[in-house]
Amino acid sequence: MRHNYILLIMAATFCLLSCKTNSVNTIYQFTAQSNQGEEVSFADYRGKVLLVVNTASKCGFTPQYDGLEALYQKYAGRGLVVIGFPCDQFGHQEPGTDEEIEEFCRKNHGVTFPLMSKIEVNGENAHPIYKWLVSQAGFAGFAPEHPLSKLLDEMFSKADPDYASKPDIKWNFTKFLIDRKGKVVGRFEPTTEPEQLEKLIEEQL
């Protein structure tokens, strides 16, 4: 009897550890606050393809809002959700409140995809979603054909010669593509334009 009890406890423990390990592999374990102050469970996006982006309103890459919205408009009906996480960690390029950010995005870029409350994506106070994202996909390198890639590489190399080996977010508009099972299938740096992801998004849809 005691032997069976021990086996039962061991089986239950294994199940719990297994479930916990599996949950770490998906985005569905996380929650985040919307820019309306509501808690959003990413489990609600189960079965969707997600494009998660850290955004900023006063950045040289800010026009990418247009491309992100175009992707959302084209593929939302097939299951794509673009999710913007405003962040002010890079050049103080997102100084506004959540309300100001939403108004800017709506008026200047026609954004209708979900925007979350402003967060940090690097460092001790990084949002748990971003700690997980960078653990799943490290820095992929700047697109060699982009005119700003050389400048960015020189800037980061000057500050840290070993920057390319570190997985942290380098700048605004870094993009993570999440498949319908909640797993990261690709990371794309700011020098990858949203429209360049269209084929990969279609493959996931």
Quick check: 151 and 121 in contact, CB under 8 A?
Answer: no
- The structure tokens listed for 179 are 């498949």
Do residues 77 and 108 make contact, with C-beta atoms less than 8 angstroms apart? no
Q: Which of 131, 114, 119, 117 is nearest to 87 (CA)?
A: 119
Take residue 196 and report the two structure tokens written for it. 């360049």
Say if CB 190 and CB 171 are below 8 A apart: yes
Give me the residues paired with residue 52 across strands: 83, 176
DSSP state of 195: G
Catalytic residue among 15, 19, 59, 105: 59
Q: Is 105 a catalytic residue?
A: no
Three-state SS for 2-61 is: HHHHHHHHHHHHHHHHHHHHHHHCCHHHCEEEECCCCEEEHHHHCCCEEEEEEECCCCCC
Active site residues: 59
